[in-house]
Copies of this chain bind each other. A is one copy, B any other.
Amino acid sequence: MSINLSHIQDAYERIKPQIHRTPIMRSREINSLLGCELYFKAENLQKVGAFKARGGCNAVFSMDTESLAKGVITHSSGNHGAALAWAAALRGANCTVVMPENAPQVKKQAVRGYGAKVIECIPTMADRVAAVAEEIQATGSTLVHPYDNEQIIAGQGTVALEALEQLGSFPDIIITPVGSGGLLAGTAIAAHAIAQNSGKTISVIGAEPRGASDAWQGFTSGQRVENQVPKTIADGLRSTLGISNFSIITEQVNDIVLASEQAIVEAMRLVWMRMKIVIEPSAAVAVAAVMENREIFSGKRVAIILSGGNVDLDALPW
């Protein structure tokens, strides 16, 4: 699998009519608190409340009518499932999402709300995969893997493409949360290629919870971690880094930095309070990582991808 800027540009042309061009927001208070100039790309305001609308839409809109008639299927802790359900509905296709039984209610409801079928499973990757295989055998539906999929990675890369277009001038750093790695991989491919075309450089950094640091461990050791037991409030980042994502990230990402659970909650609250937008814990991880790694970001212009805003309002962490 080899994805380059032109795949991301093609994806952008394909999905543009369906998605929101989300705003870049700023906060003087947060800048002065964190000692750098932050440009928040608000993908929490994206369709389905997360950047995953981009990948899901690109995958579904790349499919031919015949395959699509048999439906699509995926496994997801939440946002990718909602994204695929939403995109499938746009093309009138059936969609099934296998979800771990401990996924937030609000995310299960969202998937059902877009008309997809939810199959609940035990929250391990093995169970997810088994449930998907069974359903595919029964229906002949097409698996749209949540991250190990070229169309998904290319779709997620359009966030950086769009953000750099909006910013006009180059930031020093672009930081994104990293869970399964589709967003970070797509961002690295897009940002480095666009910078290079203008004779510039940009640092692409991933942000991960300390309690689910498989990407950081793999990035540091060169060895992909396969069996982590995640312990983090950031439910979107509990999954393990995908195989192809791991190789793209190892080659193209400049650094991965960590955030504590305490900082994640503090960052989430800070953004709600100061910016008046709802972000989910996974999105707050990138803000928390800036908080806890000041030496890297101090005085820099930093584009930060707020990945999503799907939060259970009845179970807030404060």
Contact = CB atoms under 8 A, between A and B. Distances in A.
A278 B272 CA distance: 7
Contact of A313 (B23, B25, B44, B272): B272
Contacts of A316: 313, 316
A314 interface: yes
A313 B269 contact: yes
Contacts of A45: 25, 275-277
Interface string A299-318: 00000000001000110101
Interface string A256-294: 000000000000010011011111000000000000000
Chain A interface bracket (under 10, 10 to 19, 20 to 34, 35 or more): 10 to 19
A318 B309 contact: no
Given A44-B276, A278-B272, A278-B277, A314 B309 contact: no
Interface in A232-270: 269
B309 A276 contact: yes
Nearest to A47: B28
Interface of A: 23, 25, 44-45, 49, 106, 269, 272-273, 275-279, 309, 313-314, 316, 318
A277 B272 CA distance: 8
22 contacts: A23-B23, A25-B45, A44-B276, A45-B275, A45-B276, A45-B277, A49-B276, A106-B273, A269-B313, A272-B278, A272-B313, A273-B313, A276-B277, A276-B278, A276-B279, A276-B309, A277-B278, A278-B278, A313-B316, A313-B318, A314-B318, A316-B316
A314 B273 CA distance: 11
A279 B45 CA distance: 15
Contacts of A275: 45
Contacts of A269: 313
Contacts of A276: 44-45, 49, 277-279, 309
Contacts of A318: 313-314
A278 B309 CA distance: 11
